[in-house]
Amino acid sequence: MKLAAVRLVEAAAVWDVGDGGIAAARTRVRASGNDPELAADLAPVVSDDPASAAQVVTAQYGGILAGSASVLVVLDQWRLGVDGRVRRRGTTLDVRLVADEPQWAVTAVRPARPGRPSGEISREAKQVLGNDRIVLPFAARRDVRAGVIDGSVLQALVSLARRHRLDVSVLRSGHPLRVFGTDRTSNHTEGLAVDIWALDGRSIISSGYSKAVANFMRAAREGGAYQVGGPVDLDGSGASFFSDDTHQDHIHLGFTG
């Protein structure tokens, strides 16, 4: 599932000198085994620049059902401009898939759409942006700068970063607007959630049911998160913690504001 999503994104976001532009992107997308019309959905990672390199930071589950799924692809990209300078940028893409043979098939891509930077950001936002123990991808950093992330989320990140290096995958932009497979608005959409894909340089999916992950989940609950999802449910039938297939590769922290 993740491999299908990543192959599509890389096909659109990487090209050699002379292969820029949407027409060439359609050709690359078709060669990756996908519908070439998906290139239009991938417009944020396609340009007329002479060349581009890209790296997938992480590919995270956005939701999993029996026959459909969402994979959030966090991407860094380096584009060579006509002036010979290389410029770094990035985004997060919500890649939608359906079960198919021999592999999952991509049906749509929903790019992150962060807001414009705010003229004045909060003290908590400045603390998060200036903390080198909180690693934010491009879309998440722009969310913070736009002032759309609740202070409770920002305060928790600063507090948790005193003990851990936090690799954030998504705050608001790039996450499904609704909890996948439901009509419920996601806490991410309200700026009231954060997903963390790695702790202290080690991915959650490789850590699994480790003591370190469990301890972090408990610390997050004590630090103000009313809802903590991850690879293990720490309170069984309780309301504070949960686990499912979607949350095997990241820790979700939800807040009430």
Which domains are present in the chain?
2-111 (3.10.450), 123-254 (3.30.1380.10)
Q: Which residues contact 65 (CB under 8 A, 6 or more apart)?
A: 180, 181
Task: Work out the end-to-end distance of the chain between its first and last CA atoms, rounded to an integer number of angstroms.
Answer: 34
pLDDT tens digits for range 143-179: 999 999 999 999 999 999 999 999 999 999 999 999 9
Alpha-carbon torsion, ordered 35, 57, 175, 193, to 10 deg: 170
**Rounded Cα–Cα distance for residues 187 and 184 (Å):** 9
Question: Quick check: 155 and 224 in contact, CB under 8 A?
Answer: yes
Per-chain mean pLDDT for the chain: 96
Residue 203 pLDDT exceeds 80? yes
Question: Per the structure block, which two tokens stand in for 180?
Answer: 């996948």
CB count in 10 Å sphere of residue 91 = 24
Question: Per the structure block, which two tokens stand in for 70?
Answer: 């969402």
**Rounded Cα–Cα distance for residues 74 and 60 (Å):** 8
What pLDDT, on a 0 to 100 scale, did the predictor assign at position 257?
84
Residue 209 pLDDT exceeds 90? no
pTM of the model: 0.96
Band (pLDDT 50/70/90 cuts) for residue 8 is very high
Could you say which DSSP state residue 89 is in?
A: E
Cis peptide, bond prior to residue 231, ω within 30 of zero:
no
Question: Per the structure block, which two tokens stand in for 62?
Answer: 């956005």
**Rounded Cα–Cα distance for residues 1 and 20 (Å):** 27
Q: For residue 141, which of 181, 108, 92 has the smallest C-alpha distance?
A: 92
**Rounded Cα–Cα distance for residues 52 and 55 (Å):** 10
For the chain, state the CA radius of gyration: 18
Band (pLDDT 50/70/90 cuts) for residue 237 is confident
Residue 101 pLDDT exceeds 90? no
Residue 198 pLDDT exceeds 90? yes
What pLDDT, on a 0 to 100 scale, did the predictor assign at position 119?
84
Angular region, 21: left φ>0, alpha ψ -120 to 50, beta rest: left
Q: Which residues contact 208 (CB under 8 A, 6 or more apart)?
A: 231, 248
CB count in 10 Å sphere of residue 139 = 27
**Rounded Cα–Cα distance for residues 191 and 131 (Å):** 19
Band (pLDDT 50/70/90 cuts) for residue 204 is very high
Could you say which DSSP state residue 96 is in?
A: E
Band (pLDDT 50/70/90 cuts) for residue 105 is very high
What pLDDT, on a 0 to 100 scale, did the predictor assign at position 86?
98
pLDDT tens digits for range 25-82: 999 999 999 999 999 999 999 999 999 999 999 999 999 999 999 999 999 999 999 9
**Rounded Cα–Cα distance for residues 196 and 64 (Å):** 18
